[in-house]
Every structure is written in C-alpha cells, then in structure tokens.
Amino acid sequence: MVALTSGVVSVARTLDRCTVLGPGVRAVVWVQGCPLRCHGCVAAETLPFEGGTARPVAELADWLAGLGPVEGVTLSGGEPFSQPEALAALLDAVRERRPEFTAMAYSGFRHEALRRGTAGQRALLDRLDLLVDGPYVASRHAPLRWRGSANQRVIALTGRYEDLLAGPDTSAGLEVSLAADGTLSWAGVPPVPDFRDRLDAQLAARGFALRRADPAHPEAPGSPPGPGDPDGPARPGYADPAGTGAGDPGAPGDPAGRPREARHDSTHDDKDEVRGEP
C-alpha cells in the first residue's frame, strides 16, 4: 500500500447533505485548485491553486464520520486527483469508524489516464466506488445524471452501485439553499449550458447581484459550490484527460501543474483533446 503522508486538504467548500451529486444522501467536498481550464466551467473560483482553506485530514474525517444519515461523500472541485494522498487518507480515516461509507469522485481525466498516474492517484482511485471521468465539453452539453457533457462517464469501480447505474440516465437537477445569513448556494450539475451566465442575468433583471467568491476567501457569502463536472490532471503537470498517452507538457512534480484549456475535436468522438496553454 502506498504511504499516505499528506495531512491537509485545500478545500473550496463543503456541504453536509446533498442528493444531486451521487446516489443517496451524500456529503460533498469541493477541493481548491485545477490545472485545466474547461470552457464553460461553472465554478471558476475553484480553479486557482491559491486560496482555499487548509483543512486537516483528521478534522474533515471527524466531520464526515459524525454526519449521521449520509451514505458517503462525493469529491468534486477543483480537481480531486491533484490532492490524491490527502483524500485517500481521508477516506481511510472515515472508514475506520464507518466501514460502509461510500466514495465518489469527479475527474477531468479519463479513468485510463488515472490508472497510469502517480501512486497517490492510483491509491485514491482504488478507494472509490464511483468515478465520473472526462473534462466538461460545452459543445456536448447534455442533461445527464451527475455529469454535464456526453463525453463524461459514470464508472462503477466496485459492486456497490452497479444496479443503480442501470436506471434512467437523466439529470438529477440542482439543489438551491438559502442560509440564515442570506447566502444563496446551489449544488449539482446544471442541466442547461451557460447556467452561471443565465443565473446572473435572471437575478440582475430582478435587481439582485450574485457575488462571485474570492478564491482567497472561498466560503464568503454568495459563493456557489463547485460543479459536478470539474477537470484536472492525470498526474501533476500531465494534461491527457482522454487517456491517449500523449506527452507531458507540464513540469513533473509540480502539484499545481500549468493551466490547460480543454478543447473538443469533433473528429475524435469521445476522445477529448487537451492542449497545453503556456
């Protein structure tokens, strides 16, 4: 087993109860930082590696283990596989107290690419029950269950949810909540494209302004959660979400990598190219 040494997760936001980002009632952890730049990403505030809140693994594990009637956690972002060691350690710590606690994660990289990733990334993958893989491709937006574009897949990595995946592949919708302090937040995968722009326009037409979060203060009022269709590296600095085995344009060992823009080439069907942008 790989040694899991990282004890801190950079977190953009958490939610203790959600029914639209995975099966059943789940907690959600949106991590801070993503090295890709998918056109149409609905949570640009989670992309910079700067900012976020440093949360000790032990603290997050206590929170998850004490939530009560939730069946698992969904890891979103941001890119969970940019912080794999800490997240793998988090799942281990929770399952010491709640062995049946399930785990689902999103990644902008294909399952095949993650299997060729770092030891930490493979360790996180081995602890998941479900994976949603692939970058969000705006030109292929579709109202699908737990994902935003037709190139993305829901992959059962254990037998826990195989029967569930045989059901209708339709959007799970969004959940909107209003906190006592007036903070409006939403969770889920938007069933329509350009959701953030449409939401801002509709609110503005009614005299409201939705304040975008500052990455340095991710839990400020008005900060929406991360998307259900984030993106990220197969390994630090490695931009190959389609699992093509293309060369590594980034700097190995750099946990932040370099920003990439995901672009879809329609001649490649479900293979989505990611070309490095300096």
Choose among 122, 102, 127, 101: nearest CA to 111. 122
Q: How many CA atoms lie within 13 A of 18 on its CB side?
A: 32
Residue 3: inside a domain, yes or no?
no
Number of domains present in the structure of the chain:
1
Let me know if residue 2 belongs to a domain.
no
Q: What are phi and psi of 72, to 5 degrees?
A: 180, -170
**């939403």: which residue's tokens?**
186
On whether residue 93 sits in a domain, the answer given is: yes
Most confident residue range from 95-104, 237-246, 262-271: 95-104
CATH number of the domain encompassing residue 58: 3.20.20
31 within a domain of the structure (yes/no): yes
Least confident of 21-35, 131-145, 255-269: 255-269
The closest alpha carbon to 94, from 117, 121, 126, 60, belongs to 60
Tens of pLDDT, residues 113-144? 999 999 999 999 999 999 999 999 999 999 99
What are the respective helix, strand and coil percentages of the chain, to the nearest 5? 20, 25, 55
- SS3 state at 58: helix
Give pTM, 2 decimals: 0.76
Element (H, E) at 275: strand 273-276
Answer whether residue 1 is part of any domain: no
Q: Residue 4, Cα to own-chain centre: how many angstroms?
A: 21
Phi, psi of 126 (to 5 degrees): -65, -15
Which among 156, 172, 226, 212 is positioned nearest to 15, based on CA atoms?
226
> Quick check: is 237 in a domain?
yes
Domain that holds residue 104: 8-276
CB 196 within 8 A of CB 42: yes
Give the pLDDT score at 273. Answer: 30
State the chain's mean pLDDT as an integer. 77
